[in-house]
């Protein structure tokens, strides 16, 4: 499922990160799981805000759930958006104990910040997005590993 060549997208500013989330929301289907990897402050929640906005969720309600591991939002597409932030996870078993297996399969769309901390719990067909600080120290670079046809469409747009 992981294409050999990830798609690299430069994100010049916060708006670009929001827009990437917004664009990706146009491709998801019920059951899609998106894993976000990147250091603190990389832009994972920013991406999630843009993504949520495109699904009719009030983006100001999307925050880093510091104490909550999971936050659910009703979208205008008939499915729920499950937003996880597993930064504070000490033990990957804790994530399993939340019942994520069932949550991923319940017909909603899931986004998991810090998914690298729970890598064994992520489904095989997960979409992987890694956000790095770019060399200028200000902007960001996103590395996307999505289904090939979606990468192609994003690349051509
Ligand atoms: P994370 O969830 O990865 O910890 P956040 O999404 O909270 O990170 O973002 C941290 C900061 O980075 C925010 O102030 C946001 O405005 C900023 N930011 C997001 N994307 C970019 C970008 N492409 N270029 C510069 N700053 C960005
Ligand atoms: Mg965050």
**In the chain, % of residues over pLDDT 90:** 80
Task: Assess if residue 106 is contained within a domain.
Answer: yes
Task: Assess if residue 111 is contained within a domain.
Answer: yes
Residue with the smallest CA separation from ligand 1 atom 27 is: 14
Task: Assess if residue 38 is contained within a domain.
Answer: yes
Task: Assess if residue 12 is contained within a domain.
Answer: yes
Given a cut of 80, whether residue 99 has pLDDT beyond it is yes
Contact (CB, 8 A) for 103 and 135: no
Q: What pLDDT was estimated at residue 141?
A: 98
Q: Please name which of 63, 33, 38, 29 lies closest in space to residue 48, comparing C-alpha atoms.
A: 63
Q: What pLDDT was estimated at residue 50?
A: 98
**Residue 40 CA: distances (Å) to CA of 64, 84, 88, 114, 149:** 11, 15, 12, 9, 30
d(CA 121, CA 47): 22
**In the chain, % of residues over pLDDT 70:** 95
Mean pLDDT of 140-148: 97
First CA to last CA distance, the chain: 22
Residue 4 pLDDT class (50, 70, 90 cuts): low
What is the pTM for the complete model shown? 0.95
Residue with the smallest CA separation from ligand 1 atom 14 is: 41
Given a cut of 90, whether residue 145 has pLDDT beyond it is yes
What dihedral do alpha carbons 119, 123, 129, 130 form, nearest 10°? 10
Task: Assess if residue 110 is contained within a domain.
Answer: yes
Domain total in the chain: 1
Residue range 49-82, pLDDT digits in tens: 999 999 999 999 998 766 668 999 999 999 999 9
Q: What pLDDT was estimated at residue 69?
A: 87
Residues by chain with Cβ below 5 Å of ion ligand 2: 44-45, 64, 113
Residue 152 DSSP one-character state: H
Structural domain boundaries, residue 27: 8-156
Closest ligand 1 atom number to CA of residue 85: 2
- In terms of residues, how long is the chain? 157
Mean confidence (pLDDT) of the chain: 93
CATH number for the domain that contains residue 94 = 3.40.50.300
């Amino acid at each position: 499922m992981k294409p050999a060549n990830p798609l690299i997208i430069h994100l010049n500013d916060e708006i670009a990160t929001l827009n990437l989330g917004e664009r990706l929301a146009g491709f998801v289907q019920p059951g899609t799981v998106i894993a976000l990897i990147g250091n603190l402050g990389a832009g994972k929640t920013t991406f999630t805000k843009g993504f949520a906005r495109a699904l009719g969720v009030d983006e100001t309600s999307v925050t880093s759930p510091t104490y909550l591991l999971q936050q659910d939002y009703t979208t205008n597409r008939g499915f729920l958006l499950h937003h996880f932030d597993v930064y504070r996870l000490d033990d990957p078993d804790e994530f399993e104990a939340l019942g994520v297996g069932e949550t991923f399969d319940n017909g909603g769309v899931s986004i998991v910040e810090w998914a690298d901390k729970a890598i064994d719990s992520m489904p095989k067909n997960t979409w992987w997005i890694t956000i790095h600080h770019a060399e200028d120290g200000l902007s960001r670079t996103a590395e996307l590993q999505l289904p090939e046809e979606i990468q192609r469409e994003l690349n051509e747009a």
